[in-house]
Amino acid sequence: MNNSVGKTAYFHLPGLFEFYEFYKVFLPLFREHREYFYDRCAISSIYGAPGDCLWGGGRMGYGNARPLDVKSLMEEYDISVRLTFSNSLLRPEHLSNPECNRLCRMFESPKNGIIITSDLLLDYIREHYPEYYFVSSTTKVLTAFSDFRKELDREEFSFAVLDFRLNRRFEDLKELTQEEKDKTEFLVNECCSFTCPDRKACYEAVSRLELGEESHFICTSPDAAEGYRFSRAMQNPAFISCDDIRNIYLPMGFSQFKIEGRSLGSALLLEFILFYMTKPEYQLNVREEMYLTNELDLF
């Protein structure tokens, strides 16, 4: 990512288990054709959770890739794994879940992280699997900047994902120390309405469903029936574009950027990568490599 101060933009990509087949094709391309991509642009982590993950949250899991395959691929390309354990409604009896504990044992490494909401789960994993780093999840919906800053000050967290509605609170962002800026992660492409009053309730509904409990939540956000539209996300007041990253956030001292999209299709994931990471003159090259390799049939 070219910019005036020479900082690198570190991206956190969605679909660790959900888009395993996509990354099997894309990661070799990213390694072998770095000329296609911005110079100061790196994949810092890929995040996600298996589809039946009790500790999961944020989005309903769709991932069905074998954990051992995922582990092998991420190690081959030296990319941090982030397990999305952001269920906010966990109770003590859920901590012994065999599958989630097996995942923790399998991926435990200082290089790998846990995206987390529940302090109950945080304490449990810190005690039993101490090698992980932790990321405070945006599903906490901390819409007061003072609350987010308190989250940054917690020593348990290596990173904290800012609520997207705070993305352009520049007066507050400028007041952060460099250490706090290094821990701040921006959700760049959120499509949810900026004024939606139900975001926390929506996340809690997902948490209930992951626990096998009923949820009667109905999203009332404008345009919710249309699903995710990247074109609409670009109109969101909190949207962060590639130019914003290069011209505003990197010069301010920020470097961590999260792309959402675990529950979307791999074709849209490719569009995100083209938009944020790929030089315009090489976007067609990347499309051709991905489409031809995957024999993509659009209809």
pLDDT digits (tens, 9 = 90+) for 247-284: 999 999 999 999 998 778 888 899 999 999 999 999 99
Where residue 147 falls (left for φ over 0; alpha for ψ -120 to 50; beta otherwise) is alpha
Confidence band for 212, pLDDT divided at 50, 70 and 90: confident
pLDDT band for position 206 (50/70/90)?
A: confident
How would you classify residue 223: left for phi > 0, otherwise alpha for psi between -120 and 50, otherwise beta? left
Q: What end-to-end distance do the CA atoms of the chain give, in Å?
A: 34
Indicate the pTM of the whole model. 0.91
CB 258 within 8 A of CB 12: yes
pLDDT of 5 > 70? The answer is no
The pLDDT mean for the chain works out to 88
- Name the pLDDT band for 69 (thresholds 50, 70, 90): very high
pLDDT at 33: 96
pLDDT grade for 226, boundaries at 50, 70 and 90? low
- State percent of the chain over pLDDT 90: 68
Tell the residue number behind the tokens 């959900």, with chain if given.
18
Best CA proximity match to 117, nearest among 200, 221, 184, 17: 200
Average pLDDT over residues 137-155: 94
- Check pLDDT > 60 for residue 4: no
Question: Taking phi first (over 0 means left), then psi (-120 to 50 degrees means alpha), and beta for anything else, what does residue 214 get?
Answer: beta
With cut-offs at 50, 70 and 90, classify the pLDDT of residue 62: low
Q: Is the pLDDT of residue 106 over 80?
A: yes
Q: What is the 3-state secondary structure (H, E, C) of the chain?
A: CCCCCCCCEEEEEECCCCCHHHHHHHHHHHHHCHHHECCCEEEEEEEECECCCCCCCCCCCCECCCHHHHHHHHHHCCCEEEEEECCCCCCHHHCCCHHHHHHHHHHCCCCCEEEECCHHHHHHHHHHCCCCEEEECHHHCCCCHHHHHHHHHCCCCCEEECCHHHCCCHHHHHCCCHHHHHHEEEECCCCCCCCCCCHHHHHHHHHHHHCCCCCCCCCCCCCHHHCCCHHHHCCCCCCCCHHHHHHHHHHHCCCEEECCCCCCCHHHHHHHHHHHHECHHHHHHHHHHHHHHHCCCCC
Say if CB 25 and CB 36 are below 8 A apart: no
**Which is more confident, 27 or 53?**
27
pLDDT of residue 52: 81
Mean pLDDT of 17-35: 95
What pLDDT score does 61 carry? 54
Task: Please state the length of the chain.
Answer: 299
pLDDT of amino acid 203: 76
pLDDT at residue number 287: 93
Q: Could you tell me which of 29, 43, 31 has the C-alpha nearest to residue 1?
A: 43
- For position 167, what pLDDT does the model report? 96
> Is pLDDT of 2 > 60?
no
- Average pLDDT in the 139-144 region? 92
Q: What is the pLDDT at residue 3?
A: 40
